[in-house]
Structure 1
Amino acid sequence: MNELDELKRFVMAHAISQSLPADHYAPLLDRISTDTGDEPGSWAYEWVRAGTELDAAGEVLAACQFYNMGRFPFVDGPGRKRALARCTDAFDRWRQAEQPGIEAVRVRVGGVEVKVWSAGLSAAEPRPLLVMTGGIVSPKEQWGPVLPQIAAFGMASVVAELPGVGENPLLYDRDSWRLFPAILDAVADRARVAETYLLALSFSGHLAITAALHDPRIRGLVGNGPPIRDFFVDAAWQRRVPKVTRDTLAHLTGVPSDGVFDHVRDWALDEERLRALDVPFAAVTARRDEIIPPGDTALLKRCVRDLRLLEHDDVHGAPAHLTETRVWSLLAVQEMRPGADLRVKAALTGALAAARAEKVR
C-alpha cells in the first residue's frame, strides 16, 4: 500500500508534466481517501471517473492522461489494472482519430514481445531516429503525444517504457539496457538507426548510458534526473528515498521492498565507464532532488567528457521548469545531430529564450 499523502505529492509533478489543469485534479485529490480498492473515494476510482467524464466530452487525450494517473505508480490490483486498460485504449483511439501517423511496433527482447509507439518510420525515406523513454512510473502513453512533434523535426521516433512499466512485460534488471538495441534492430529497415539519439528520462537515463557504451549506433543522449552511482550504493541516502520510489522499484524488479537496494547495488556506474562514454550527454538535474543524490551530478561533471548540463533549483524531474526543460532537451538532440535542420534549431532556440524570459517575469 502506498502512503496517500506522499502519493498525492508525487503525482502532482506528473500531472504538471502533462499540463493537466490544477482546477481539474486538485478537487479530485481531495476526494481520494484511500489508496486501495476500486470504490468511490479510492485512488483508481476517482481518477478513472474523471477520465470517463472527459472521454464522454470528446477530450480523449486528456482522458488518457487521467486514466494514466489512475494506474500511478504501478498496477497493484483491479482498480489500477482497469485504469491502465482505459489509458492504453484511450491513447489508441486518440492516435487513430487524430494522429494516424503514430503506429505500433512490436519489438523482440530476449524472446519477449514488447509494444512501442512510433512515428516517421519509412523504408523509402529512412530518417535519423530518436527513442524516448520515461522513468519507473511513466507508461509510453504519457509521452506518446510528442511523437508528431519529433517527426516534424525530420526524425523517426519511438516512445517506449521501461521493463515492468505499463504494458512492458519484461522484468527490470541490470541488463534492461538491451531494450534500446532491440528497438533499433526492430526498426532498422525503416530508420537510419546508425544515427540514433536517446531521450531517456529519470531511471531510463541510467540504462541509456549503458546502452550507448555497448551500441555504437547511439550517437547522443539526453537525460533528466538519472541515477548514476550514489543512488545505488549510498545507504544513508537510500534511507531518505521516498517510499513510493522504493516500492515501485521493488515491484518492477520482483524483489521485496526492504531488499530492493541490496538487489540494485551492483547496477552503479563507475568512473571508468563514465569516462568511456564517447557520445555527448545532455543532462537536466535538480538541486533539491529528493530521489537522486547530489553526488551523482557531481560524478557526471567529473567524468563525462562531453557533458551539457541544465541545473534547476527544483525537485526530481524539475516540474516547475517544465517548458524550459522540454525545449532545452529537444534542442539538445538537434545540436548533437550533424545534419539537423537549421530552421528547426533556430525555432527551438527562440522557444527556449521565450520560456526563460517567461520564467523570470
Structure 2
Amino acid sequence: MNTLHAFDLDIPPLGAQALPAATDHAFQALRWAELIGPHAIEEIRALSPLPSTNAGWVEAYLHLGRAARAADRQFDAAIYERAAQFFMAGDDPRRLPTRHRFVRTMQHLFALSPVRVSCDGADLPAYDLPAQGLAPGEEPRSTWVLFGGFDSYIEEWFPLLAAIAQRGHRVIAFEGPGQGEVLEEQRVPLTVEWERPVSAVLDHFGLQEVTLVGLSLGGELVIRAAAFEPRAARVVAWDVMDDFLDVAMRQAAPVPSRLGRALVGMPGGLVNRLLALAGRHSVVQWGLEQGMRVTGTDSPAQFLRFAGRLHTREVSAQVRGDVLLLAGAQDHYVPLAQLPRQVRTLTGARSVTTRVFTAAEGCASHCQVGNLGLAVRTILAWEEPLLSGVGPGH
C-alpha cells in the first residue's frame, strides 16, 4: 500500500471555511477540499462567480480537475473529478467515465486493489489495508471494518484509511448494496438488512472481533448490523443516525418529524405532487432523484417509504458491544436530537460513549468535515482502553 497521500491526522483543522454558497454546496466543497489540502479552498474561492446550481458546480469541479491533471497533481484531480461526478444527474453520460477515472487513479495512487466478497448475488468490493509500523511478529492493534453511507464511494476514504493503518490498525473497507460499484456497475440497490453484507465480509476474511465503523447513513446501518452480528465488539456511528426518514424529510420538505411521517403515510400520488413543489429547488430535486437511484424505487413517495424503514429503534437493544456515537453540533443533515434518542435505546450495549463536536473545534458539521483528524483521533482514543480490557464496559 502506497501511503504517499495518507491524511495527516495531526494537522490543524481546515475548519468551516466560509464560502459564499448555499449550505450544502459549501459543505460539499469543504468535504473535498479537506482531502486535497488548504490550497483547494483558495482554488474554489477563485472561481468567479461561484456556481449556484448543481450543474454549475459540475462544470467548476471538472475545470479544477483538468487544471490539476495538467499540473500533474493526480490526487487533486481525482478528488475534483469525484466532486463533479457527485453532483451529476444519474443519466449524465459523463457520470460513469468520470467515476472510472476517479477509481482507477485512487487505486493506482494507493496501490490498492479490491477483493471480491459474494453477498446475495452481488460482488462487494473490499479493500484490505494492512497495519503499518509493526515490529516483526507483532499483531495489529485492532481490525477496523468500515463502510460509507448513502452515496459515498469507499475510494474517497483511502487517505483516512491509510492514516489509520499507519497507526497500527488493519482496515478492511467495503461497499455494500446501494453504494459505489455495487450500485453504479451492478445495479444492486440499498438494503435495510445491513447485517448481511457485514457478515459476508467478516466471513470472507475470517474475522472474529472487530471495530465496526459506519459513516454518515452508515451510522444507522452500523447499529442495525451490530444488533445481529456479535463479532462487532466495538461499534462506531460516525455520525449518529437513528432515523433516516427524519434526515430525508429535513432536506426534501423541512417540516416537524410528526408531520413528515404523516406525509409519508398519504397516498403516493399526493406525496409525489407535494414533493414536486419542493423539488423546484435543484438541490432537493437532485436529492430525491439520488434517493430513488440508491434505493431502487420509482417515485419520491416510494423513496420516502423506504427511508422510513431505515431506523434503529426496533433493534438497538440487541447491540451487545461497546458503542461510540459521534455527532456534530451544527449538522445540517442529522438533527442533534437523534443522539440522546439513540443512547436511550442502546439498553443492551456493554458501554455507550458520546462525543459532540463543536464549531470551535472546526468540525460541528456532518461527519466532522473540517477536522477529520480530530474525529479519527477520538475514535482511536476511545478504542485504546477497550483493547486493553480496561474500558468502560470491562
Match of residue 39 from structure 1: none
Give, in whole Å, the separation in 2 of the partners of 1:45 and 1:118: 34
Give, in whole Å, the separation in 1 of the partners of 2:84 and 2:234: 34
Match of residue 119 from structure 1: 129
Give the TM-score normalised by structure 2. 0.71
Once the 2 structures are TM-superposed, how far is the Cα of residue 139 of structure 1 from its aligned partner? 0.7
Match of residue 68 from structure 2: 54
Choose which of 278, 286, 305 in structure 2 pairs with 1:262: 305
Once the 2 structures are TM-superposed, how far is the Cα of residue 23 of structure 1 from its aligned partner? 0.7
Alignment length (residue pairs): 320
Match of residue 355 from structure 2: 310
Match of residue 130 from structure 1: 144
Match of residue 175 from structure 1: 193
1:277 equivalenced with 2:322 (yes/no): no
- CA offsets per residue over residues 219-259 of structure 1, 9 Å max, x none? 11112223213x43699756228725544322200222343
Name the SS for the 1:18 alignment partner.
Answer: helix
1:110 equivalenced with 2:120 (yes/no): yes
Choose which of 375, 382, 389 in structure 2 pairs with 1:325: 375
Equivalent residue letter for 2:387: R
1:297 equivalenced with 2:307 (yes/no): no
Structure 1's 17 and 336: CA in aligned 2 closer, same or farther, altered over 3 A?
A: farther
Q: Is contact 2:130–2:171 with CA below 8 Å preserved after alignment?
A: yes
- The runs of 5 or more residues in structure 1 that have no matched partner are 37-41, 97-101, 341-361
Structure 1's 277 and 29: CA in aligned 2 closer, same or farther, altered over 3 A?
A: farther
Name the SS for the 2:235 alignment partner.
Answer: strand
Give, in whole Å, the separation in 2 of the partners of 1:198 and 1:74: 31
Once the 2 structures are TM-superposed, how far is the Cα of residue 171 of structure 1 from its aligned partner? 0.8
Q: Is contact 2:62–2:80 with CA below 8 Å preserved after alignment?
A: yes
Structure 1's 137 and 105: CA in aligned 2 closer, same or farther, altered over 3 A?
A: same
Give, in whole Å, the separation in 1 of the partners of 2:193 and 2:44: 37
Name the SS for the 2:237 alignment partner.
Answer: strand
Once the 2 structures are TM-superposed, how far is the Cα of residue 178 of structure 1 from its aligned partner? 1.8
1:11 equivalenced with 2:28 (yes/no): yes
**Within 5 Å, which residues of 2 pair with 1:1-361?**
5=22, 8-20=25-37, 21-28=40-47, 30=49, 32=51, 35-36=54-55, 42-73=56-87, 76=90, 77-96=92-111, 102-120=112-130, 127=140, 128-169=142-183, 170-188=188-206, 193-229=207-243, 231-232=244-245, 237=250, 239-240=253-254, 243=284, 245-255=287-297, 256-270=299-313, 273-304=315-346, 305=349, 306-313=351-358, 314-338=364-388
Q: Is contact 1:118–1:147 with CA below 8 Å preserved after alignment?
A: no
- CA offsets per residue over residues 97-131 of structure 1, 9 Å max, x none? xxxxx34211111121121222118xx98754211
Q: Is contact 1:224–1:283 with CA below 8 Å preserved after alignment?
A: yes
Name the SS for the 2:94 alignment partner.
Answer: helix
Q: Is contact 1:44–1:79 with CA below 8 Å preserved after alignment?
A: no
Give, in whole Å, the separation in 1 of the partners of 2:152 and 2:48: 19
Give, in whole Å, the separation in 1 of the partners of 2:43 and 2:383: 33
Match of residue 258 from structure 2: none
Give, in whole Å, the separation in 1 of the partners of 2:375 and 2:367: 9
Q: Is contact 2:193–2:225 with CA below 8 Å preserved after alignment?
A: no
Once the 2 structures are TM-superposed, how far is the Cα of residue 282 of structure 1 from its aligned partner? 0.9
Once the 2 structures are TM-superposed, how far is the Cα of residue 94 of structure 1 from its aligned partner? 0.8
Structure 1's 160 and 56: CA in aligned 2 closer, same or farther, altered over 3 A?
A: farther
- The runs of 5 or more residues in structure 2 that have no matched partner are 1-20, 132-136, 256-282, 359-363
Once the 2 structures are TM-superposed, how far is the Cα of residue 95 of structure 1 from its aligned partner? 1.9
Structure 1's 46 and 81: CA in aligned 2 closer, same or farther, altered over 3 A?
A: farther
Once the 2 structures are TM-superposed, how far is the Cα of residue 311 of structure 1 from its aligned partner? 0.6
Name the SS for the 2:331 alignment partner.
Answer: coil
Match of residue 345 from structure 1: none
> Mean Cα displacement is larger for which, 203-212 or 295-304?
295-304
Equivalent residue letter for 1:288: Q
> Mean Cα displacement is larger for which, 104-113 or 17-26?
17-26
Task: Provide the alpha-carbon RMSD of the alignment.
Answer: 3.1
1 or 2 for the larger relative contact order (CA 8 Å, sep ≥6)?
Answer: 2
Give, in whole Å, the separation in 1 of the partners of 2:389 and 2:70: 44
Give, in whole Å, the separation in 2 of the partners of 1:146 and 1:30: 32
Q: Is contact 1:162–1:204 with CA below 8 Å preserved after alignment?
A: no
- CA offsets per residue over residues 332-361 of structure 1, 9 Å max, x none? 333432379xxxxxxxxxxxxxxxxxxxxx
Name the SS for the 2:236 alignment partner.
Answer: strand
Once the 2 structures are TM-superposed, how far is the Cα of residue 7 of structure 1 from its aligned partner? 5.1
Give, in whole Å, the separation in 1 of the partners of 2:170 and 2:198: 15
Structure 1's 16 and 280: CA in aligned 2 closer, same or farther, altered over 3 A?
A: farther
Identity %: 20
